Structure 1
Amino acid sequence: MAGAGKRAAAKAVEHSKQSQRVSLKDIADELGISQTAVSFAINDRPGVSAETKRRVKETAAKLGWSPVYAAQALGSSRTMTIGFAPARAANGIQNDNFMMQFMAGIHQSLSRKGYGLLFRPCSSDKEAIAVYRDWARRKRVDGVILVDLYAGDPRPALLTELGLPSVLAGGPDPSNSIPSLSIDDSATMGTILEHLSLLGHKRIAYLYGDKSLDYCRSRVASLQEFDKKSHFSQIWVEDTGFDTGRGVELTQKLLLEDKPPTAFIYETDSMAAASLRALSTVMLASDMMSWDSGIRRFPYDLPAIVSFEDSVICETSFPSITAVHRDASLYGTKVANLLLKVLAGESVAGNRKILTPKLIVRESTRMILPNVDTM
């Protein structure tokens, strides 16, 4: 029994030693160098050789050292936190598949460098501006990711004035206050319209997200410019405010016109899918009422449908929905990487465009009548 007790005590002592956090001093003692040299090597600061950095990092890994971010932040005046305060409607974020993937990409990039993301959704730009001021006053975040630039947007200049390093997803920023990365979709609307034109569509409706947003205005302008060259019979441009229900209502209203649109372009996948479901329900009910006649409207009498966002919803709907595909997660990763470069003091390009989107053609623009202009 006595021997067993000694062994238990020895194990307890060993466990206690193992559970003690390894410090920079432990690494310094192991290598016979100063703690300052170890700190410089761990944080990739100048002042120590590449060989010393290598030895320090290898020894840190061997001893099981891990950073204490609270202390690290205190010592460097950094919070190791990035702020993200998009201004959207109450359900605007949770229903936005692109935004969810974009945020996942941001997380993936930041976590590699030990940063966290402070997500603070706001109901308005006024609230977002108040949040930025509060973050700057309390030194709550090291930097900010900005989205949804709009005409006359005061946020880039404000963030610069507050001394908050920031980058813009979208843009470019007309004031050139902050660097930006935007998806190169300048020709995407043209690609969609070329596709619909080749199918014979002449009456086209675009149900966009928000007239104040830069990218929505750019897409509307592209549609109007294309119309000047192609001379559509009629185009409709409607603001939905990113409200899926509003998109469905507008779709149903437009289809009641004497010569309704034969093709609809939607800002989001959820709006496209919800409108498709509403139209399909009506047509299937009509088919059931006229079952004996043998006339079947669904899915052949459906207007063509295109979404500016792609997702599993577009793939699995019936008919599957033609959509513009962007890698939102990769986009989030690149935007976060850009901000990390800014925080590291690296020189970055002012405004760059990346990730040219692709149009994924599916059933929703294939099931057409022989002469769509007479629909």
Structure 2
Amino acid sequence: MSEIDAKAGKSRNGAARVRIEDIAEELGVSRTAVSFAINDRPGVSAETKRRVMEAADRMGWHRVYAAQALGSSRTMTAGFAPSRSFNELDDESFMLHFISGLHEGLCARRYGLLYRPCLTMEEEMKVYEDWASHKRVDGVVLINPCDDDPRPALLKELDVPAVIAGRAPGEPPLPSIGIDDSTAMTMILDHLYLHGHRCVAYISGNESLNYSKERVETFNRYLREHHMEHGYVEFSDYDAERAAHSTMRILTTGAPAPTAFIYETELLAATSLRTLSKAILDKNSDAPCWDYVRMLPAIVSFEDSFVCESTFPSITAVRRDARAYGERVAGGLLDVFDGKPVPDDQKAVHLQLIERESTRGYVRAL
């Protein structure tokens, strides 16, 4: 067994903790060089960093976060305290994948993620005050920026670094990394327009959120530019039953009735599709399968997941790599920690429209 393996064995068995000095001695380099390499600081070559990290892994070295915090004033932890209902967090696959990417991006630099979901923005702000007073995190990630958002000013007052995941209104108060929601909406409407739809309804989420406002503005502008005289916009506050109720009401009272619906999330789309299907089948119980499908309006979801693939008909959706987005936001926060500029990137995620049965010519269009 090599000396490195022997030391690793002792460490794993609890007999001794591998120290930075042990790695320096093993490689024949200075303690400072090992410290710089482990903490990803400038001053050592890429080859030295590689050798140090390989040796640290083989020897079973683990970072002592408490000691590092005392020595460098860093906690090696980023905070994420989104103010959303627990139902939203459970039901939205985008957020789950975003958190996964956020965690993965932070882990690349050996940072941890402190996740603390909140029910209200007021609760979220109290969490930031608590984190700041107890020095729990080095910085935080904000989501869902809105007009007159009080959180950036609070974080500046608390001297807590932060990055906004989303498009901030006006002059961004903090570095922001967003998704081009205008392009996503245009992509959906182009698809529906080419399929012959001239009357479309958009069942949005929360009207106070900036990304919802941007989507609504793009929706209305598209209708004007393409001389589509009729369109409907309603807000569901992400309540699936409310979205389904709005869908049925618009279909039965709209003049003219829309031939296509756009939904903010896959859950809103799937629940509305189920309600529509039941209403049609109750009136046409003997209709052949595809005859029933042709009676449905076209349906598109702004979020894609296995839900869209599992329904019948399967649902056309915009695919956004939420995991990659989370990694990109984590990278932006790490840049802030390092004192590096973070470009105002509002096209951080590749968008792709996945066409499925709900708009693939099986459904009716004008």
- TM above 0.5: yes
1:187-198 equivalences under 5 Å are 187-198=183-194
Deviation of 1:42 after TM superposition, in Å, equals: 3.1
State the match for 1:7 in structure 2. Answer: none
Match of 1:326 in 2: 320
Which residue is 2:143 aligned to? 147
- Whether 1:22 and 2:18 are equivalent positions in the alignment is yes
Which deviates more, 237-246 or 59-68? 59-68
Separation (CA, whole Å) in 1 of partners of 2:319 and 2:50: 42
1:5 corresponding residue in structure 2:
none
Any idea what SS the aligned residue of 1:187 has?
A: helix
Number of residues of Structure 1 aligned to a counterpart in Structure 2: 356
Instruction: Within 5 Å, give how 1:155-170 maps onto structure 2.
Output: 155-170=151-166
Note closer, same or farther for the CA distance 1:353–1:296 as it changes in structure 2 (3 Å cut): closer
TM-score normalised over the length of structure 1: 0.86
Tell me, yes or no, if the aligned pair for 1:173 and 1:179 is still in contact at 8 Å.
no
Equivalent pair of 2:11/2:18 in contact (CA under 8 Å): no
1:61-116 deviations in whole A, cap 9, x for unaligned?
45332222222222212111111111112311111111111111111111222212
Aligned partner of 1:254: which letter? I
Q: For the residues of structure 2 that align with 1:303 and 1:336, how far apart are their CA atoms? A: 40
2:214 matched to 1:218?
A: yes
Which runs of 5 or more structure 2 residues have no equivalent in the other structure?
1-8
Q: Which residue in the other structure is 1:135 paired with?
A: 131
The alpha-carbon deviation at position 315 of structure 1 amounts to 1.6
Alignment equivalent of 2:348, drawn from 337, 348, 354: 354
CA contact 1:157–1:175 (8 Å) conserved in 2: no
Which of the residues 58, 63, 67 maps onto 1:67?
63
**RMSD of the TM alignment (CA)?**
2.6
- CA displacement 1:158-180 (0-9 Å, x = unmatched): 22221111111111353332111
Q: TM-score, normalised by structure 2?
A: 0.88
> Secondary structure at 1:186's aligned position in 2?
helix
Cα separation, 1, equivalents of 2:151 and 2:175: 13
Mark the CA change 1:329 to 1:363 in structure 2 (over 3 Å): closer, same or farther.
Answer: same
- Distance, in Å, in 1 between the alignment partners of 2:289 and 2:17 is 76
Task: Answer with 17-26 or 73-82: which moved more.
Answer: 17-26
- Residues 150-299 of structure 1 mapped to structure 2, 5 A cutoff: 150-257=146-253, 259-288=256-285, 291=286, 297-299=291-293
Q: Structure 2: how far apart are the matches of 1:194 and 1:138?
A: 51
Question: Which shifted more, 55-64 or 153-162?
Answer: 55-64
SS in 2 for 1:78: coil
The answer for unaligned runs of 5 or more in structure 1 is 1-13
What SS does the aligned partner of 2:87 have?
coil
1:367 maps to what in 2?
362
Change (3 A) 1:281 1:40: same
Contact 1:184 1:356 in 2 (8 A): no
Matches within 5 A, 1:25-36: 25-30=21-26, 35-36=31-32
Task: Return closer, same or farther for 1:236/1:21 CA change in 2, 3 Å cut-off.
Answer: same
After superposition, the C-alpha distances for 1:289-310 in whole angstroms (9 at most, x for unaligned) are: xx3x889851110011011111
Write the mapping of 1:308-327 to structure 2, written as runs, cut at 5 A: 308-327=302-321
Q: Distance in 2 between matches of 1:17 and 1:232?
A: 68
Whether the 8 Å CA contact 1:185–1:356 is kept in 2: the answer is: no
Structure 1 window deviating more from structure 2 (237-246 vs 252-261): it is 252-261
Q: Distance in 1 between matches of 2:24 and 2:363?
A: 73
Aligned residue number for residue 335 of structure 1: 329
Residues 254 and 66 of structure 1, relative CA distance in 2, 3 Å threshold: same
The SS at the match of 2:228 is coil
Per the alignment, do residues 248 and 48 of structure 1 end up closer, same or farther by CA in structure 2, a change over 3 Å counting?
closer
Looking at structure 2, the residues matched to 72 and 352 of structure 1 have their Cα atoms a distance apart, in angstroms, of: 34
Q: What residue is the counterpart of 2:87 in the other structure? A: 91
Structure 2: which amino acid aligns with 1:110? Answer: L
SS at match of 2:214: helix
Instruction: Tell me the secondary structure at the aligned position of residue 144 of structure 1.
Output: strand
Report how far residue 157 of structure 1 moved.
2.4
Deviation for aligned residue 1:141: 0.7
